[in-house]
Amino acid sequence: MFTRRGFLQTLGGGFASFAALGSYAFAIEPLARLNIARYHLTPSGWTPGLKLRVVALADLHACEPWMSSRRIASICAQANDLGGDITVLLGDYASGMNLVTRYVHSSEWSKALATLKAPLGVHAIMGNHDWWEDRTAQRNGGGETFGHRALADVGIPVHSNRAIRLEKDGHGFWLAGLEDQLALLPGKKWGRRSMTGLDDLDGTLAQVRDNAPVILLAHEPDIFPEVPARVCLTMSGHTHGGQVRFAGLAPVVPSRFGDRYAYGHIVEEDRNLIVSGGLGCSIAPIRFGVPPEIVVVDLG
């Protein structure tokens, strides 16, 4: 028989479980966990004999107490220990939420990122929040954000619709970086009726001058259906893996494709996309089932 006492015990247990899950999602997974997500692949068109390790950091969303400059420096130290040939930064350095005790200035998070080291360098692209948080850049409708300038000031190149050729062990490859696909906000204040991207996929890939493999950095993964097979690997962030995932699925993903490009290694028509779960939080400081991560990709 289900008694009042039994009902209250069950109800109390439910509240306790809910509180425990909430505490984990709010205080433990976003702050105390850091995973290393590893992928090993040899895409079609990859040069035989070229072995390349790429270390990627995405979606820092620098703010206190969730992602302080001290924590960013600690993450960078762990990234350096992973033995990458090249380190890439996939955008969204600026905070994307108001539930903070302090916003971390671009001069602080860029100084922490300047501790990253890799034989073939550290390379960056911008994310939507880096544009959205810069009112001057919104008013100008382009140009540079404070993020562009902060990274340049510490010697980290930002690839804004630009491709460069790099080489390892005598084998060349191209690194191409897109400007953000959601850069400019709509509204009467800015004189725009809709969200406007500043990405130029065709113009960026037109800079590739030989048959060496191409790695494309694109903050939002939604560009992937347009990426030609000429690109061996596309690397993205933005989604945070949904930030909350149950049984491998996220109820809310900031993508017009829903969960299709939310997280992990996606293969479509022999083309490869890797989407990082990211490091920080946006909208709300909650993560559940998708802890912060550094991505390591071994190619070849």
One DSSP character per residue, 169-209 reads TTEEEEEEEPPPTT-B--BTTTTBSS-B----HHHHHTT--
The conformational region for residue 288 under phi > 0 = left, psi -120 to 50 = alpha, else beta, is beta
Q: What is the pLDDT of residue 243?
A: 92
pLDDT confidence of residue 92 = 98
Token digits of residue 175: 């690194």
For the chain, the average pLDDT equals 91
Q: Which two tokens stand for residue 47?
A: 């040069």
Q: How far is it, in rounded angstroms, from Cα 89 to Cα 146?
A: 16
Contact 177, 207 (CB under 8 A): no
Single out the residue of 108, 93, 21, 33 nearest to residue 59, CA to CA.
Answer: 93
Per-residue pLDDT of the chain (300 residues; tens, 9 = 90+): 444 344 334 434 443 343 444 456 655 666 667 999 999 999 999 999 999 999 999 999 999 999 999 999 999 999 999 999 999 999 999 998 888 999 999 999 999 999 999 999 999 999 999 999 999 999 999 999 999 999 999 999 999 999 999 999 999 999 999 999 999 999 988 889 999 999 999 999 999 999 999 999 999 999 999 999 999 999 999 999 999 988 888 889 999 999 999 999 999 999 999 999 999 999 889 999 999 999 999 999
33-299, what's its fold? Purple Acid Phosphatase; chain A, domain 2 (3.60.21)
pLDDT at 13: 45
Give dist(CA 229, CA 214) in Å, integer: 10
pTM: 0.91
Give residue 119's pLDDT: 98
Predicted pLDDT at 32: 60
Q: Where are the domains of the chain?
A: 33-299
| Alpha-carbon dihedral angle through residues 299, 211, 198, 243, given to the nearest 10 degrees | -10
Find residue 282's DSSP bridge partners: 96
- Confidence (pLDDT) at 31: 62
